[in-house]
Amino acid sequence: MDQLARFRQAVPIRDLPRMETSTIMRFSFIHAADLHIDSPLAGLGLKDRAVAERFAHAGRRAVEALVSEAIDSKAAFLIIAGDVFDGDWRDVSTGLFFVRAIGALHRAGIPTVIVKGNHDFESGMSRSLPYPDSVKFFSSRKAETIALDAHRVALHGRSFPTRLVLDNFVDSYPARREGWLNIGVLHTSLDGTRGHDGYAPCTVDDLRRFGYDYWALGHVHAAEIVSRDPWVVYPGNLQGRSIRETGPKGAMRVTVEDGRIVAVEPLVFDGARWAHESIDVSGLAQESDVTDRIGAMLGELHGRSEGRPLAVRLTLAGITTMHNQLVARREFLLDEARAIGFRIAGDCWVEQVKLATSMPPRMATPLSAADSLGVEDLLSAAADDPEFAAALAELMKTVSDKLPRDLRDDPANQSELLQKLAADARAYLTGELAS
C-alpha cells in the first residue's frame, strides 16, 4: 500500500552558476498537506461522546508529531501544500495552536512555505494571526517564486484566491530556474480521477512541461507517488477524519543529494486511526465462532495502530447458514463487538458492523419453510398495510437522498435497493422466528 511520506528566509532569486565541489551537499525537506486543524472526526460524536473525546485532539497531535520530526531530523524546510485549516476558524485557539507549532520550527531555524487551498482560501479566511518571518505564504493574486539561497532551492506556487479556481490556474506558474532545485507547490485534484473535480485541474503532462524537479501536491487525502519523472507526489492528509480515510496518515520526507532528489519516503504522524476490514465467516455455524474472529481481527488492528486510538468498521462476508441469524442479531453483534474492542483497549472502538453474507444456495429458505414460520404471511400483510407502505416510502426517500445523484436517478438502482430491503426483511423475520 502506498503510504505517506523539509525552507530558509526567502530572498530574490539570482541566476548564479552552480559551483563545482567535491563535497556532496545532502539535505532533506518534509512535504505535508491537508492538516485540517480542528476538523471534527466524522461519525464519532453522534455515537459515543466518550469515544469522540478520545479522538478529539488527534489532528493536533499529528501536527505536533510533524513539527517534532522536522526538528529532530534537522529538515532544511517544510512545505504545506494547502488546507492548514478546515475553514474559517471560529475559536482563536485553532489559530494560536498553529502559530505555536510553527514557532517551534522558527526557533529551530526551519523555514515553512505554504499555499492556501480550497478550505483555507484567501477570501474565505476572515481572521489571521502574525506568523514568524520564516513562514512564507504564496500570494493568491499570481503565481510567484520563493528562493532559498542556502540550499539553492526555488519554490514556485500560488494560493487559492477562492474556493474554486480556473482551468488555467497552473499555466501562470513561473519558468524553472536553471542551476537550482525547482519545486512546484500546488493544491489540485489533477485530472479529477481521484474523486475530486474543479480544484486547479491539470494533468501530469501539464506539470511535466515546467521542467520542475518535484511537484508538492495537496488536496487528495490518499498518499500517492503519481510520477517519478518528474516527482509528482501527494503526501495524503496528516490525520484521517472518517472511515473513508483508513490506514496510516502523515507526510513525505524528500532527500536531496547534489541538487538531485534521491529518495521520497512516507512518514507516519496520525494521532488516531481508522480501519475498515472484512472478516470471512464462510462455513461458521456458531455465533461464538464469529465473535472469536472479530476479537482476532480487532487484536491485529490494534497492534498495527501502535497504541493510537482506533475506530473500526467490520464487514462480515461469506456464505454461511448463519446468514438469517446474523441479520436478525445485527445490533446484538455490534454490541458484542464493541465490548470485545473495549476489552482490548479503552480506545478501540467498533464504529459499525456491516453484513455481506448470504445463505448457501442449496439451503436458501424455500417458500414453504418460510411459510411454516409465518414469514410470508407477515410480509404479505405488511405489503397491504397503508401505514406500512407510507412508512416504507418515507424510509426509501431518506435512503435515496443520501445516494450519489447518478444512483438516485437510476430506476434500476431504486429497484435493486427495494429488493435488498425485502431480502433483509425476510432474513430478519426468518432469523427472529427460528430463534
What sign has the CA pseudo-torsion 360, 362, 363, 365? positive
Tell me which residue of 366, 367, 333, 372 sits closest to 350, measured CA to CA: 333
Q: Is the full-model pTM beyond 0.85?
A: no
pLDDT digits (tens, 9 = 90+) for 341-376: 999 999 999 999 999 999 888 655 544 444 544 555
Tell me which DSSP letter residue 141 carries.
Answer: S
Question: Residue 112 CB: number of other CB atoms within 10 A?
Answer: 24
If DSSP codes are grouped into helix, strand and coil, which group holds residue 159?
A: coil
Contact 301, 349 (CB under 8 A): no
pLDDT score of 6: 32
| One-character DSSP codes across 175-204 | PP-TTSEEEEEEE--TTSTTS--SSS---H
Q: Give the mean pLDDT of 61-67.
A: 97
Q: 62-66, 254-258, 263-267, 421-425: which range is least confident on average? A: 421-425
* Structure confidence at residue 10 as a pLDDT band (50, 70, 90): very low
Q: In 320-372, where do the E strands start and end?
A: 348-358
If 0-12 CB within 10 Å is exposed, 13-18 middle and 19+ buried, where does residue 139 land? middle
* Residue 248 half-sphere exposure toward CB, CA atoms < 13 A: 19
Please determine, for residue 101, whether its predicted confidence score (pLDDT) is greater than 60.
yes
Considering only 130-134, 170-174, 185-189, 378-382, which range has the smallest mean pLDDT? 378-382
**Of the candidates 140, 136, 141, 176, the residue with the CA atom closest to the CA atom of residue 156:** 176
> Coil, strand, or helix at residue 262?
strand
What nine digits make up the cell of 131?
A: 506568523
Going by pLDDT thresholds of 50, 70 and 90, the confidence category of residue 237 is very high
Residue-wise pLDDT tens digits, 22-35: 467 899 999 999 99
Of 56-65, 83-92, 137-146, least confident by mean pLDDT is 83-92
Check pLDDT > 50 for residue 94.
yes
Would you state the pLDDT for residue 389?
64
Distance CA 251, CA 70 (A): 11
Cell 512545505: give the residue. 79
- Cell, residue 247: 490506514
The pLDDT value recorded for residue 51 is 79
Residue 21 is predicted with a pLDDT of 41
22 vs 150: CA distance, rounded Å: 18
Fold assignment, 26-268: Purple Acid Phosphatase; chain A, domain 2 (3.60.21)
- Give kind and range of the element (H or E) at residue 304: helix 287-304
Select from 408, 36, 399 the least CA-distant residue to 245: 36
Residue 20 confidence (pLDDT): 42
Q: Give the mean pLDDT of the chain.
A: 84
pLDDT bin (cut points 50, 70, 90) of residue 17 is very low
Q: Which three cell numbers stand for residue 216?
A: 508538492
The answer to whether the CB of 325 falls within 8 A of the CB of 434 is: yes
CB 269 within 8 A of CB 238: yes
- For residue 296, pLDDT over 60 is answered with yes
121 Cβ partners below 8 Å, 6+ apart? 140, 159, 160, 161, 162, 163
What pLDDT is recorded for position 395?
66
Contacts of 320 (CB under 8 A, 6+ apart): 281, 282, 283, 284, 285, 326, 357, 358, 359, 360
pLDDT of residue 54: 78
Q: What are phi and psi of 256, to 5 degrees?
A: -120, 130
Binning pLDDT at 50, 70 and 90, where does residue 89 land?
confident
397 vs 225, more confident: 225
Q: What's the N-to-C CA distance of the chain in angstroms?
A: 43
DSSP state of 85: B
Domain ranges within the chain, ordered by starting residue? 26-268, 272-364, 369-435
Task: Report pLDDT for 287.
Answer: 93
Asked if residue 402 has pLDDT above 90, the reply is no
